Amino acid sequence: MRLHPDLPEHLLGRLILGCAVIDVDRDDLAENESPAGAARWPVAVASPAHALQALDAAAAAQPDWARTSLADRASVVRGYRAFLDAEAESLARLIVLESGKTITDARLEVAIAGAVVDELLACAPAAVGAHEDGDQSVRVTTRRAPVGPALLITPWNFPLTMASRKVVSALLAGCTFILKPSERTPLTAMYLVDALLKAGLPDGVGSVVPSHRSAEILAGLTGDPRLRKISFTGSTAVGRKILQASTTHFQRVGLELGGNAPAVICPGADLAAAVSTIWNAKLYNNGQACTAPNRVLVPESAAADAFELFRAAATATTVADPWAESARLGPVISEAAADRLRHLVQAPHGGTVVTGGIEPGTPGASVAATVVLAPDPGSGVCVEELFGPVLPVVAYPDDDLSAALALANSTEYGLASYVFGDTAQTDLVAAGLDAGMVAVNRGSVSHPKAAFGGVKHSGFGRENGVEGLREFLEIKTILGPVPAQEPAQ
């Protein structure tokens, strides 16, 4: 097999168990194929036994890592942060190979991962510190202790940022970890933890167990009381199974699940600016983000103009080779994902479909940029999480933001939302949206300082910053006598 030059050959077909890079038996090898072109490579498939070896190592290393000072834990993380800068282009090219996103978006992901790590390092002292209170009769001390060995499950769409956020949060909080990346993007995760090893991560503290045997691995790990924390990003269906599995030993769980983000354009908003912002947000990561605008709500009086602006945006967008510097939109992750999107667009919905183009010779599973104008709000294209470059646009009655809110909230999901308008309008709509995150006159709900997470079927718990770090810490309250006052001299 001729290997692609951007692959980290020293990690192919290997696992990291307890900070040791190991080869696996031939029976535990599979082959991955790039969504971005003709490239294949061997990958290790972790077994349930491998996962339990990782937990053995994590449980054994947990006491010493918890006792390690925050300064020393941060020193390891800073070594990883330096790696992100030093190997930025190599990482970006690996991300394109594994996920199919454009090289521009891959470079942006590396930069975002660095910014996330910087913020976690900056706020760690506040997150892990103790607090004292009380009155004349008692001193109340609140301490935060590491929750313990953590299972970190990450998706393929942001293989570096998601893994960096979870792993660095666990490490700074004093938790050992087992990283279970998507079987589609294992090498990015391996590269991350390999960099931590080179930065001085102690034996046992970290493992990587990529595998398509996820259900077996989850059953084995959640059935062991030594596992104390699960942090999962992925589908709502899988999140539900993880939550059910965690009840045997009451592992602490954080779930960042699916979304069906509405983008509400208020009456009188700058329509051209709103449409441009929403469209750019939709194309980011080839439309494959749980926070991407999933449906647009426009006032009836502006609907005709909005439809024309979205029509123009779609027809001007072309799917291209993700390696091209000029590419705005690349392939989706798989042919199955492309087929699902095509089915939703072709199913009865009552709307008008407008599509862009696909450059001849574009590799992978291409789905043309698509807008669906005036579909039935109850149709599948409006109800389901799309996860691709497809965007329905629906009108609501003029000057009735309550109707817009009702449409926006008519979903089981509650991750991200967007609103465009003046301050009075956006304050009203933002307060009424059932979502964990709201972007006002901007195309992203993500920022290193912003707590990231959702409500309803989009999960619970938060990532990023102080809130994200405290997901890996338990509170211990100590009540004791008030120290005697020394007599005045």
For the segment 353-399, what is each residue's pLDDT rounded down to a tens digit? 999 999 998 988 999 999 999 999 999 999 999 999 999 999 999 88
User: What would the mean pLDDT of 443-450 be, rounded to a whole number?
Assistant: 96
Predicted confidence at residue 383, as pLDDT, reads 96
Half-sphere exposure of 33 (CA within 13 A, CB side): 9
Predicted confidence at residue 484, as pLDDT, reads 81
> Does the pLDDT value for residue 420 go beyond 90?
yes
Predicted confidence at residue 488, as pLDDT, reads 66
User: What would the mean pLDDT of 135-154 be, rounded to a whole number?
Assistant: 94
Catalytic residues: 256, 290
| 234 closest CA partner among 182, 292, 184, 193 | 182
| 279 closest CA partner among 326, 313, 308 | 313
Phi, psi of 18 (to 5 degrees): 60, 35
**Residue 296 DSSP code:** E
**DSSP-assigned states of every residue in 210-269:** --S-HHHHHHHHHTSTT--EEEEES-HHHHHHHHHHTTTTT-EEEEE----EEEEEPTTS
Q: In sequence order, what are the residues at sequence separation of 6 or more whose Cβ sits closer than 8 angstroms to the Cβ of residue 274?
A: 263, 265, 420, 441
pLDDT-based confidence at residue 416 (cuts at 50, 70, 90): very high
- How far apart are alpha carbons 378 and 395 in whole angstroms? 13
Cβ density class 49-87: b for 16+ within 10 Å, e for less: ebbbbbbbbbbbbbeebbebeeeebbebbebbbebbeeb
> Does the pLDDT value for residue 1 go beyond 60?
no
Percentage of the residues of the chain whose pLDDT score is greater than 90: 93
**Residue 11 DSSP code:** G
Provide the CA 289 distance to its chain's centre, in angstroms. 8
Beta strands 150-153 and 177-180, pairing class? parallel
Neighbours of 170 (CB within 10 A): 28
User: What would the mean pLDDT of 126-145 be, rounded to a whole number?
Assistant: 89
Predicted confidence at residue 2, as pLDDT, reads 60
Beta carbons of 382 and 392 less than 8 angstroms apart = yes
- How far apart are alpha carbons 21 and 153 in whole angstroms? 20
> Does the pLDDT value for residue 169 go beyond 70?
yes
- How far apart are alpha carbons 301 and 410 in whole angstroms? 22
- How far apart are alpha carbons 231 and 256 in whole angstroms? 8
Beta carbons of 253 and 230 less than 8 angstroms apart = yes
| 391 closest CA partner among 266, 264, 279, 269 | 279
For the record, the structure tokens of 133 come out as: 């209170």
- How far apart are alpha carbons 18 and 207 in whole angstroms? 5
Beta strands 390-396 and 370-373, pairing class? parallel
| 318-363 pLDDT, tens digit each | 999 999 999 999 999 999 999 999 999 999 999 999 999 999 989 8
**DSSP-assigned states of every residue in 165-192:** HHHHHHHHHT--EEEE--TTSHHHHHHH
